[in-house]
A = this chain, B = another copy of it.
Amino acid sequence: MARKPAAQSVDREDILWAAAEVLRRKGYDVTTMKDIAAEVNLTAASLYHHFPNKDFLLLNVLEFGIGLVIEKLEEITASEMSHAEKLAAMIRFHVGAITGNVAMGTAMIFEIRPLLNAGAGNRYGGGKFFEEFAERRDRFFARRDYFEGLFRNVLLGGICAGEFRQVDAPTVTRAILGAHNWVGVWYRDGGRLSGEEVADVMVDTWLAALRASD
């Protein structure tokens, strides 16, 4: 099998990171294939050698991002820690992922609607690619729900175990995730707080919100 000329070589993953970065700055709809290509010193046309089209590229970015996070979270939930300790570890990891990687984190939050719109209108006129696209898109949303479920289950577990007070777990879960997601919007490297410090505040806040009062 022939390989790309070593010098100009750019692989799939490089493109995904680059795309995430551009996406963070401009948003899917405004981001052009040319923008993404430029970020890795390619031309727009070249991207079509790696991805069927723009929608798939976005989908790949999101799949990549969610995969990065779920794996680690599963490790934590499978461990032997208390529910409170698990939650703290999950929060630290999630916030760390967002602050350490604002691009991917922001993409995960803001580019979901474009993903929903994708392929809705004209593209895929009757659709050879569409079937695969729809399937993978649905799988992505399922994984997203699973991700949310990992947090929710720790809350539910902690409530059952009496570590946490009685709260509406689904809603509080979403409150947590919303607070974290928003970090991707305002956090800046070199700001008043480091990523770890932000994570510390979040851990402190959520444990306080959940601490059994008795």
Distance A29 CA – B54 CA, assembled complex (angstroms): 15
A113 contact set on B, CB distance < 8 A: 26-27, 110
Instruction: Find out whether the CB atom of A30 lies under 8 angstroms from the CB atom of B27.
Output: no
Number of copies: 2
Q: Is the interface of A mostly helix, strand, loop or mixed?
A: helix
Instruction: Find out whether the CB atom of B171 lies under 8 angstroms from the CB atom of A198.
Output: yes
Distance A174 CA – B181 CA, assembled complex (angstroms): 11
Min CB gap A183→B, angstroms:
7
Instruction: Find out whether the CB atom of B174 lies under 8 angstroms from the CB atom of A30.
Output: no
Nearest first, the 6 closest Cβ-Cβ pairs linking A and B are: A178-B182, A29-B29, A209-B209, A175-B179, A178-B179, A171-B201
A47: CB under 8 A from chain B? Answer: no
Distance A208 CA – B167 CA, assembled complex (angstroms): 11
A202: CB under 8 A from chain B? Answer: yes
A202 contact set on B, CB distance < 8 A: 171, 175
Distance A27 CA – B210 CA, assembled complex (angstroms): 35
Instruction: Find out whether the CB atom of B204 lies under 8 angstroms from the CB atom of A167.
Output: yes
Contact of A193 among B117, B168, B179 (CB under 8 A): B168
Knowing A178-B180, A181-B182, the reply to whether A172 touches B205 (Cβ < 8 A) is yes
B-contact 0/1 string along A79-120, CB 8 Å cutoff? 000000000000000000000000000000010011001000
Instruction: Find out whether the CB atom of A208 lies under 8 angstroms from the CB atom of B171.
Output: no
Min CB gap A76→B, angstroms:
21
Instruction: Find out whether the CB atom of B167 lies under 8 angstroms from the CB atom of A205.
Output: yes
